[in-house]
Amino acid sequence: MRAPRNAVLLALALVALLALLGSGFITHAPNRLVSGTPFTLWNAPGGWRAGLILTLAVALAAGAFLTPARHHSATIVATASLLLLLLLDTAGVAARDFAAHAPPAARAGLGAAFWVASLSTALAIIDALQRARANPALRFAVALALAAAILALAADGRLDGLSLAREYDVRRSAFAAELLRHCALVAGSVFPALVIGVPLGIFAARKPRSRGGLFAVLNVIETVPSVALFGLLIAPLAALGLSGVGPAPAIVALTLYALLPVARNTEAGILAADTAAVEAARGMGMTTGQIFRRVELPLGLPVFVAGLRIVVVQTIGLAAVAALIGAGGLGTFIFQGIGQYAIDLVLLGAVPTIALALAADFALAMMTPRMGQEP
């Protein structure tokens, strides 16, 4: 047998296969609070689907032996996408089938096999796109098509039987409000962090002697655990006449956390245009404005946007913790779920938080200016 051309794909496909063969695909529980009994893909209802899922997973493993070529990568992306959607649809069908024969309080949850197999499949898609050196537009198209297909499955009611969907169903309006709230918290912290952090970064780049002290302070802030910082802010904010709980301390804390990466990457962006290029630009008669627009900005912006991606993803994640001090957001469901020991409610908060972070990161990556643009 030949050595695999793509060891990553082979590993991912094997992990997915092992998980599907050896662990529970879907879980059944008499109510939402107790852990469910796992059922493997074979024992879960779904008929021909189990066979097709296994066939596609084996096909993916076989894909690892194809010679690296763009059309092969396209086949792998298509196969993996189909597998991902089929996993989701099968889980939905199995859950609906179970719900039809069980009392209303019973729940059908997603098992380990589902999570491992879908994650491996998603990684296989990303890996294939990277190997094919797909341009950003194509990556965007693939991501959009997958998101649209998943939303279509949900809108069609095919996933309604799943516990996660039922948790969502009873909190439909709260979910929309908390999602918006989460986005508002993120925007409300990243924006002031930019307003304060960008000038700090410019200052650090222009005055190297001030750099050490400035970043020492920002580093210390960064090391305070988030829960502690939320708590520490209650007293000073109350002294200022602001509520120590709710969105105010959350936004202050999230802004403080975002300052370090914003300032660091602003500084790095400015220093990215090497001094020789700037000296040459000046010597050839560019004005200060032209040097900034044609040399410093195009060389520094990719570095800055890369930093902004980190800031936004970090803030989306941290904003979930802000629910602890009553700031709202998707973290509300996570902490409610932990309090009630209802894992599906935790997922209702966690999965959209992750999706939001991925979507924001992806959108900013698409906007990153690339080297070699027209002057």
Partner 1 sequence: MIELEHVVRSTGGRRVVDDVSFSVPAGAFCALVGSSGAGKSTTLKLINRLVPLTGGAIRIGSTDVASLPPEALRRRIGYVIQSIGLFPHWTVAQNIATVPRLLGWSEAKIGARVAELLALIGLEPSYAARFPRELSGGQQQRIGVARALAADPELLLMDEPFGALDPLTRTALAKELALIHRRTKKTIVFVTHDIDMALELADVIAIMHEGRLVQFGAPLDILERPASDFVRAFTGGASLGLKLLGVRRVADRIRVEPTSAGEPVEPSASLAEALSEMVVRQTDRLPVKGENGAPGGSVRLSDLVR
Return residues touching partner 1 (CB under 8 A).
274-287, 290, 294-295, 298-299, 371-375
Q: Tokens representing 257?
A: 């956390």
What is the nearest approach in angstroms of partner 1 to the Cβ of residue 372? Answer: 6
CB of 21 to partner 1, least distance (A): 49
Q: How far is the CB of 277 from partner 1 (least distance, A)?
A: 5
Please identify, using beta-carbon distances, which residue of 1 and 276 lies nearer to partner 1. 276
| Residue (of 358, 259, 366) closest to 302 by Cα position | 366
- Kind of pairing, strands 37-39 and 107-110? unpaired
Coil/strand/helix, residue 129? helix
Q: 208-223 and 247-272 helices cross at what angle (nearest 10)?
A: 140
Residue whose CB is less far from partner 1, 162 or 281: 281
User: Angle formed by the axes of helices 163-170 and 172-206, to 10°?
Assistant: 90
H helix intervals, the chain:
7-22, 49-63, 70-100, 112-131, 136-155, 163-170, 172-206, 208-223, 226-232, 234-239, 247-272, 275-283, 288-291, 297-321, 331-340, 343-367
Q: Which region holds residue 133: left if phi is over 0, alpha if psi is between -120 and 50, else beta? A: left
Rounded to the nearest whole angstrom, what is the least distance from the CB of residue 288 to partner 1 in the complex?
9
Contact by Cβ (8 Å): 26, 94: yes
Of 216 and 371, nearer to partner 1 (C-beta) is: 371
CB of 294 to partner 1, least distance (A): 8
List, as one string, the DSSP characters of 24-57: -SEEEESSSSSPPEEE-TTTSS-TTHHHHHHHHH
**170 DSSP 8-state letter:** H
CA-based nearest residue to 299, from 276, 324, 328, 327: 276
Measured from the CB atom, the residue of 31 and 287 that comes closer to partner 1 is: 287
Of 3 and 284, nearer to partner 1 (C-beta) is 284
Smaller CB separation from partner 1, 17 or 299: 299
Closest approach, Cβ 56 to partner 1, in A, equals 42
The nearer residue to partner 1, 15 or 286, going by C-beta atoms, is: 286
In the complex, the smallest distance separating the C-beta of residue 293 from partner 1, rounded to whole angstroms, is: 12
Q: Residue 104 or 285: which CB sits closer to partner 1?
A: 285
- Rounded least distance, CB 251 to partner 1, Å: 36
Cα–Cα distance for residue pair 108/211, rounded to 1 Å: 55
Phi, psi of 27 (to 5 degrees): -120, 145
Nearest to partner 1 of 197, 298 (CB atom): 298
Closest approach of partner 1 to the CB of residue 273, in Å: 9
Query: How many other CB atoms sit within 10 Å of the CB of residue 257?
Result: 21
The least distance separating partner 1 from the CB of residue 374, rounded to whole angstroms, comes to 8
By beta-carbon proximity to partner 1, the closer residue of 269 and 328 is 269
Cα 344–Cα 349–Cα 355 angle in degrees, nearest 5: 115
Q: What phi, psi does 117 have (nearest 5°)?
A: -65, -40
